[in-house]
Structure formats: structure tokens, C-alpha cells
Amino acid sequence: MPDLANDEATGEAAALSGRLAIAVYEQIERLIRRGEFPKGVKLPPEAELARRFGVSRPVVREALARLREEGIVRSQQGSGTFVIRGMLPSAAALPPIRTLADLLRYYEYRTDVEAATAGLAAERRTTDDIAAISKVLAGAEDMLKQGQLQLLADANFAFHRAVAQATRNPFYVRTLEMMPNFIGRHKLDLVVSNDSTSEAHLWRIHREHVAIFEAIEAADPARARTEMQRHILAARDVVLNRQSLLETVEFDVRE
């Protein structure tokens, strides 16, 4: 007689492994898209990727297999896995941020797009979306409590991406991924310095994320839009007020 319980458990394990592989695939693809793994570079070994993403090596292998199938990476026996397709042209063609005026335009654009994203997420979110966003927030809170502040940049992006996914519209996810990676490169939103205010600043960001989440969970589009607008504008103000950080970018402030 077939062991239905065992078959069901095996099926659930396979489904979980498949979901994890998709998640790892999406994260690696995002890193490639954002230029963190540029064309021609060798990806870290499977074991290192497994540690980085908190999954098993078979999950990483499955994710890499999908990347190979899509022509994004190529594996060479004995040499490793190499990126053969870098940032998509549509992402590379977005305006760079070179001046203070560009920075202000970027935040104007980001405020409108992400507020609309949060509003749609509040209208369309499912219980799975709520669970996904909640999990990201719980992970960020753990990082804050444990003082793992350098890990929060990825958690910050993961929150915004989870909100975009809740719109059920992949264009919002892609739009988020293709935004100029100014904040990711220069860590201006999530700077971890030696002063006493940096941790307080990161906790404030977390509270803003929680407020956005609560509006989405309550299915309140207007409040979700308002909370997201407030969050993005607060991030803009922090960046503009940190003159020493702005000096790390070659701004032509005469504009």
C-alpha cells in the first residue's frame, strides 16, 4: 500500500525547496540587474551563496540552473559560474544620479511610484503577502536588536519589494528593481556610523515600515499611500541633511 503520509510530506518538502529556489533565483537576478554581479564576473561558490541566503546547496544549484536556462549565467566545470548577461538595457538606460537636482527628481519619482504601489498593495494583498511582509519586518527587527546594522540595507529593499509583489502586478516589482541604485551604492538611507543617532535612525525607518505594513494589512489604500509618501520623503530629508555624505557623490550643486 502506498505511504500517502510520506508522499505528502515529500511533496511538501519539494514544494518548499522549489519556492526557496525561486526566491534565491530572484535575489541573484536582482543583484545582477543592479550591477552588483556585473557581466563577466564569477559568482561566489555554492557554499557561500547558500550561507548568504540561508538555504541548502541543492536549493542554490536549482536557482543557478534556472539562471543558466535563461542565459544569464554560464557554468564552467572546474572554474565556477560566470555572469554572461548583465543589467537589462531598460535598467541601464534609466537616468543616472549625478547632481543634486537629479537626486531631487529621483525622490519625486520614487515618492509617486512607491505611494501608488503601497495603495495597490493595500487593495490587493493576500494572506500570503501579509505573511511575507511580516516575515521581512520580523527579520529586520531581529537585526536591529542584535546590532546587525550592516545587514539592514538588504532588509530595507526586501520590504519594498514585498510591498510591490503584493500589487499582483509584476511591472511594479520591475520598476522598483530598475530604479537607479543610488541608495544601494552609497548607503545614504542606511548609513551606519559611529554616532549615537544612527541606530535611532534605523529604528525610525523600521517604525515607518511597520506603519506602512499596518495600513496594507488593514486594506486601507489611502493610509498606505500616505505612510509610504511620508517614509520616502523622510528618507530624502535625511540624505539632504547629511552634507558629508553628499560629498561622496560628484554633485554639480550649481543646478
Residue 194's φ and ψ, nearest 5 degrees, are -85, -5
Radius of gyration of the chain (CA): 20
pLDDT tens for the 255 residues of the chain, in order: 444 344 444 445 555 666 788 888 888 988 888 778 888 899 999 999 999 999 999 999 999 988 887 778 888 878 899 998 765 555 445 666 677 788 888 899 999 999 999 999 999 999 999 999 999 999 999 989 988 776 777 788 889 999 999 999 988 988 887 775 444 444 444 444 444 457 888 899 999 999 999 999 999 999 999 999 999 999 888 877 765 455 554 443 322
Cα–Cα distance, 11 to 244 (Å, whole number): 54
What phi, psi does 185 have (nearest 5°)? -75, -40
Instruction: Domain 4-83: give its CATH architecture.
Output: Orthogonal Bundle (1.10)
* SS3 state at 199: helix
Break the chain into its structural domains and give their ranges: 4-83, 94-246
Question: What superfamily would CATH give domain 94-246?
Answer: GntR ligand-binding domain-like (1.20.120.530)
Is pTM beyond 0.85? Reply is no
The 3-state secondary structure of 213-246 reads HHHHHCCCHHHHHHHHHHHHHHHHHHHHHCHHHH
